[in-house]
Structure formats: structure tokens, C-alpha cells
Amino acid sequence: MWPLAYDSVTTQLTSDWVELIDGYLTELAAAGRPETSIRLRRNQLNHMTRCLQMPPEEVSTRVLLGWFASQGRWARETRRSYRSAARSFFGWAHQQGYLPNDPAAGLPVVGQRAGVPRPVPDDVYAGALASARPPAALMMRLAAEVGLRRGEIARIHSNDLAADGQGFLLLIHGKGDKERLIPIPDDLAWAVKDAGDWLFPGRNGGHVTPEWVGELCANALPNGWTLHALRHLFATKAYAATHDLRAVQILLGHSSPSVTQRYVAVGAAELRAVMAAANGRQP
């Protein structure tokens, strides 16, 4: 069995690994991948290759399988993300001729667990909003009332605001560098306009990091609720009001309706009404 103590490995990367990883990340940057994705891949590859403790050309499918098998504490999404990183990196290295074969080609598929919607309850959101300081309160509103991700909130700029005669529109810089134009409530639009620059500027220029947005909102919400659960709240309310799954999908920036469905919670009252109807009774 592969050793289980690799999370604490702190050995330095050899020059072979450094050059290989840098070359791969340079190609990602040249392809226009967002900085957040490149930073994530660097962190994952640095950790994985430190753990392996062998030259790149000696890494085999068996070695990678053993290392993945040893990560018993990983959440499913973490395992999926690391598998994606390994497949992309080693596949690139083999295709470019740096490695004689692709050891990650044989990594098994990690199934995606169907998520359970977990929207923040209305009273919890209202209480957190009332007691939160302005930056966190505005961030939470953008998640709960507009449906934005933490990375999208971090990158809002006043130049992204437009008007179409019926109200305000905001250009969202979404996941995977995909953009979408969505309507935004007037009071939130004026907050963006009044900023005159980044809505949430960083200390050293530019905008704040997505991680900071997530942490600030998590601290403002009680009982382990997160900013992502506020997106579930938005999705649940939007669908309940319209039953238009396609529109909710577009607003959330999802790739397919099946993803959006995992964000929409169905209330007990609605389930009772359907059950009663199925049995020929009034709810």
C-alpha cells in the first residue's frame, strides 16, 4: 500500500519538475486560461510531484494509482480536480515529447455525486445581512439576489455596467473565463457605478481574491453556511417564482440544466401538493 503520510511532505521540487510544470503553465497562460485556474493547477502539481519523490520519467500509472488511493480524506470534488490536473499535465508532457508515455491515461474516472440543494434559510440570510459590515453585506447580496460566484463577485468593475432602457445589465466574468450579461437590481447597480473602479479593490491594486470573498462571507454567515449556499438560495427562489429552468441556468452561468437542478430545492409544501394531486386529493 502506498504510504499515507504524503500530505506532510515538504521536499523541494527538482529542476526537472520545475521546468516541466512551468512549461505546462505557460501554455495554459498562452491559451488564455484565467489566473485562478493557473494558480490552482500550480498548487496541485507542486503538491503531487513533491509527494511522488521521483524524476518525471519514472512516474508510472501504478505509481499514480497508488498515490491517489492513499488520499483517503479527499472529498470527491478534490479527487476529481486532482485527476483532471494529472490527466491534463501528463498528457501535455507526453504529447510534447518530454515523457515517453502518459502515466495518467489509466487513472479511473471519479464519479460525480448528485449534489443536494442547500439554500441558506431566509431568516438566516436576513439576520446575517442585518449584522454584516458593508463589504460582506454587499457580497452576500450579489450571491443571494443576483446568483454570483465568489470569483465573479471579486472581479466586478464599474466598466462592466450597462443600461438597455429597461434597467441595468452587468457583464459577469464567469468560470472558465466565460462571460454573460445579466440584469441587476437598480440599487446594486448604483453601488457598482459609484465605485468608479473595482467594486472590491485589493490592497495592492487590482481586485480582491475569490478566496477572500468566500472567507469574508463565511465569517458573516452563522452555523457553517457559505456564500455558495446563497447561490442555492437564489436558484431556489428564481425557479419557484418562474419555473423557467433555462433562464435560471443562464443567470447562474451553468453549462447545462442538469447542473442547475442540483441548486434548486423543492419545498415541503410543493411536494405535498404534488403528492395530493397524484392521489386525487386537494393539498
Q: Is 237 a catalytic residue?
A: no
CB neighbour class for 241 (10 Å; exposed up to 12, middle 13-18, buried from 19): exposed
| Marked catalytic residue, from 33, 118, 228, 262 | 228
From 231, 232, 237, 239, active-site residue: 231
For all residues of the chain together, what is the average pLDDT? 88
126 shares a domain with 258: yes
* Number of domains the chain contains: 2
Do 100 and 221 belong together in one domain? no
Ranking 34-38, 116-120, 209-213 by mean pLDDT, the lowest is: 34-38
User: Among the listed ranges 33-47, 189-203, 267-281, which one has the minimum average pLDDT value?
Assistant: 267-281
pLDDT band at 265 (very low <50, low <70, confident <90, very high): confident
Establish if 181 belongs to a structural domain. yes
Concatenating the DSSP letter of every residue in 40-101 gives HHHHHHHHHHHHH-S-GGG--HHHHHHHHHH-TT--HHHHHHHHHHHHHHHHHHHHTTSSSS
Residue 158: give the domain boundaries: 122-273
Active-site residue flag, 157: no
Is 80 exceeded by the pLDDT of residue 115?
A: no
For residue 117, being part of any structural domain is answered with: no
Q: Is 175 an active-site residue?
A: yes
Active site residue 149: yes
Integer-rounded Cα radius of gyration of the chain = 22
Residues 185 and 56 in one domain: no
Annotated active-site residue 41? The verdict is: no
Handedness of CA 65, 67, 69, 71 (dihedral sign): negative
Residue with cell 462571507: 217
* pLDDT band at residue 164 under the 50/70/90 scheme: confident
84/126 same-domain check: no
Can you tell me whether residue 172 is helix, strand or coil? strand
- Digit-coded pLDDT (tens) for 229-260: 999 999 999 998 998 999 999 999 998 888 88
Q: Please pick, among 83, 175, 180, 262, the residue that the annotation labels catalytic.
A: 175
Given 41, 82, 125, 149, the catalytic residue: 149
**Do 83 and 149 sit in the same domain of this protein?**
no
